[in-house]
Structures are given as C-alpha cells and as structure tokens.
Amino acid sequence: MEYTLEYEAAQKLAVTAAKVLQPRSPIRTRELFAGRWNELTTVANSVAEVGLHALIYGERGVGKTSLSNVIAPTIWAYDDTDPPAPNPKLRLVIKAVTSSGDDFAALWEKLFKEVLWRDDKPTSGFLPGPKPAVNILQAYGLQQQSLTVDTVRRVLTSLPEGVFIIDEFDRAAPETSREFTDLIKALSDLAVDVTIVLVGVADTVDKLIADHASIGRQLVQVHLPRMLADELRGILTYAEKSLPVKFNDEASDLIIKTSQGLPHYTHLIGLESIRHAALKRYSSQITRMDVFEALKTAVKHAEQSTAAKYAKATHSAQKDALYKQIILACAITATKSMDSMGYFNPAALGPTLGKILNRAVTVATFNNHLSDFMHAKRGSVLEREGQARSYRYRFQDPLLVPYVFMHSLATGLITDKELLKMLV
Ligand SMILES: Nc1ncnc2c1ncn2[C@@H]1O[C@H](COP(=O)(O)OP(=O)(O)OP(=O)(O)O)[C@@H](O)[C@H]1O
Ligand SMILES: [Mg+2]
C-alpha cells in the first residue's frame, strides 16, 4: 500500500477524518458504535419484556449517552421495522436530557412534548402534511397541570410499547428518584407495556434511585464499565475501514493505553494523529511520532475544566516541588490497579515514583502530597476511602488520568517508551 499523499488528498483526509472520529459528540449511528453488545442486548431485552425497566449507569465519559442513542435503532432492528421516519410502524422511542434541578413533572413534560398525536395515533419527529399535530399533553388537556405519578402512568397506558429514555438523570432534583421508583412499581404492577430507561453518572445504583431494593426485579441495572482495549481498537479499526489510513501497531497501542478505557480520548488522539500524519508528513500511515504530537495538541485543546484541574493540582512556586511527578505516579498506579472503581493502594506508588524520579523514595516523599491532592486548594483531584493505614485513593474525575499522561509526555516529564513500559 502506498502511504504518501498528494497535497489535496492530505487536506481532504484531515477534514473527512473528523466525520469518523468525533471526540466531542456522542455516537448517533450503529455503524460508528463500537463494542458494548452485552449492554445493548440487556437493554433491548428489558424493552421486550413487559414490566421491566432499565437503569444505565457509569462514570463520566464512558459512553452512556452514545449507548442510549443507539437503543432506538437497535430495537427497531429487533422489531424488524425499517426506520425511514416517520414510519407509523416504528415503536415510539422518546429521549430527554435532564437539566439541573428538573423534577418529575418537568421531565415528563419534556418527554410528552415530543409525543405528537395525529389521527388518533401517537408518533414523534417531524411530520409533513397540512394537519398541525398536537402533542400528547395538549391532546389530553394536561398542559396546565403539574404531572403526578398517577397522571403519567395513565398517559403511558395509552402509549403501548413506548420507550422513554432520560439521560443525565443524576442532575434531577433530589425527590425525583423516589417518584420514579413509585412510577416504575406502578407500571410493573399493572403490566403497562412501556419501558423507562434512566441514564446517569454514578458508581452505584443507590446513588441514582431511591429504594431500589424494592424494585430490584423490575429494574435491570446496566453498569457501563470503561471500554476494553479491544473495543477501543474497534474505533481505530473502523477509522481504517472508512478512511485511507493505517495505524502502526505501536501507534494504536499508545492511543489505546493513554485512553484508559475512555472512548473520548481514543477519538481525540486518533483524530489528531491522522491530522498530524496527513498535514505535516503527507502520509496516511500513522506512527508513534504522530501520536506523540497528537498528545501535545490534545493537551492544548483539552476540555478547559480538565486542564484547569491539572493546573490547580500541580501548581507550585518551588521549582523542585514534586506535584507533577507524584500525580503522574498516581495516574500510572491507578491504571495498573485492578480495582473496578479505580481505587489504588498508596503503597504501590513508591516503586513507580522511584522510576520517574530516578532515585529511591519512601512513603514520606509523597504522603503529604496525597493529602494535598484531596484538598480544595488543589482542586480535590483525589478522593479516598477506608480506614487510616489502609486508605485507598482514586481520581475524582477519571478524565484527568489520560490528561496527566498527555501532559507529562508533552512536557517531557516522561518519554512515551518509559510510560508504555510502566503501564504494562
Ligand atoms: N461504543 C462507542 N464506540 C465508539 N465511540 C464511543 C462509544 N461510546 C462512546 N464513544 C465516544 O466517546 C465519547 C464520550 O461518549 P458519551 O458522550 O456517550 O459518554 P457519556 O458517558 O455520556 O459522557 P458524560 O458522562 O460526559 O455524559 C464520545 O466522543 C463518543 O463519540
Ligand atoms: Mg452523556
């Protein structure tokens, strides 16, 4: 295969790459969606079974919104209906995003406003034709009332097979989860054939749904873990299929390792690597050097909030302060820790920090820094659990870990070879 690109082709590749690798927007189509078959099937099964609802939960940035976006095409495929919208045979799938502080009534108002009523049938999406459609709240004369659990249940009874997805549910007002618990119980008890899918950021279900034990059987809990290396590789493989590019093994390994299971970074670094290879080297073959340059660019363009957290955690007037090295050691240790919640044992920090500093270290070298990282003064980037002497730490924001790697590589605190070696 010929990897050299003409000027025009290189420019074109840099532009089209952004259609395949989209770090800033959730996935909308099934072709672009990598992995996650078990999770998708579990949700689709809960839709198929009357009385079953689903809760999708996971860390920031693991792909919750993307998963919830492909629920509709997945169940339409299961239902065996083609989606040219508006297709009257399509199952109704309605999605709303919670704004901070939305309560039960506000959320259902958002959802029901998307359900249009025409010719005595519910439907959604843009409807052509002369007849103006009314939404279901208008059709039922409910615009003026605040929606209660009972009213919502009654409206839902008239929307058989409907699927209602609520993203960012963790942002809802505190009492909301109790009302959802009540609603789900009522819907299951009365065998109403609709499915509610709640989506939110959390470690545990308890944080999202009140009294979840009492609806345990009615609520399928889908934990969305970080993506596996192979699933992330799927993102790069898809890019290779859709674009005239090839990632060297070393290049894709570096992208996948620094991504830490968070697909946002695979998209971001993948895209910047392609752009670097195309625009700076007129090549469609992505090498480790392109990835390295991409990491530098990614640091510059990283989300402001992530960059600000890193700066706050590591700033120091003293030149020999070790905040940057210690946070890097924490990031490496967190990566290697097998804990599913991202906790790491501080005892494991010593050897890694020793390698970074190239000298022997003791617990005293980093103990105070760990406490500092938990304080507001340093942005509370670490949190800890457990008892004194057996504390375990983790990054409060998982997106910070890849950023620490990118920044450390970009500023020469560590080389990519050294980092890769420490991560395995
Ligand atoms: N299965 C997937 N295949 C390919 N890319 C994915 C997949 N899931 C997520 N992504 C990509 O990862 C990034 C983050 O995804 P998404 O916005 O869905 O995460 P999220 O969990 O909803 O994040 P947040 O917690 O910030 O709401 C996006 O760029 C998205 O395109
Ligand atoms: Mg989201």
Over its length of 424 residues, how does the chain's per-residue pLDDT go in tens digits? Answer: 678 999 999 999 999 999 999 988 999 988 889 999 999 999 999 999 999 999 999 988 899 999 999 999 899 888 876 655 555 567 899 999 999 999 999 999 999 999 988 777 788 876 667 666 788 888 888 888 889 999 999 999 999 899 999 999 999 998 899 999 999 999 999 999 999 999 999 877 887 787 767 788 899 999 998 888 899 999 999 999 999 999 999 899 889 888 878 898 899 999 999 999 999 999 999 998 899 889 888 888 777 888 999 999 999 988 889 999 999 999 999 888 777 667 899 999 999 999 999 999 999 999 999 999 999 999 999 999 999 888 999 998 877 988 999 899 989 999 988 988 887 7
pTM, to two decimals: 0.84
- pLDDT score recorded for residue 86: 54
- pLDDT score recorded for residue 84: 55
Spans of all domains in the chain: 7-24+229-301, 37-223, 304-423
Q: How far is the CA of 322 from the centre of ligand 2 (A)?
A: 34
- pLDDT score recorded for residue 21: 95
* Atom number, ligand 1, closest to the C-alpha of residue 70: 1
- pLDDT score recorded for residue 336: 81
Distance, CA of 361 to CA of 377 (rounded, Å): 25
Indicate which ligand has the atom closest to the C-alpha of 224. 1
- pLDDT score recorded for residue 88: 56
Q: How far is the CA of 25 from the centre of ligand 2 (A)?
A: 9
* Atom number, ligand 1, closest to the C-alpha of residue 24: 29
Element (H, E) at 373: helix 363-374
Distance, CA of 90 to CA of 117 (rounded, Å): 15
- The CATH number of the structural domain formed by 7-24+229-301 is 1.10.8
Indicate which ligand has the atom closest to the C-alpha of 64. 1
Q: How far is the CA of 115 from the centre of ligand 1 (A)?
A: 26
Rounded alpha-carbon distances, angstroms, from residue 3 to 16, 267, 275 = 17, 22, 14
The answer to whether 254 and 290 have CB atoms below 8 angstroms apart is no
Q: Which residues contact 20 (CB under 8 A, 6 or more apart)?
A: 32, 238, 239, 242, 243
- Nearest CA owner, ligand 1 atom 9: 63
Distance, CA of 86 to CA of 116 (rounded, Å): 11
CATH fold label, 37-223: Rossmann fold (3.40.50)
- The CATH number of the structural domain formed by 304-423 is 1.10.10
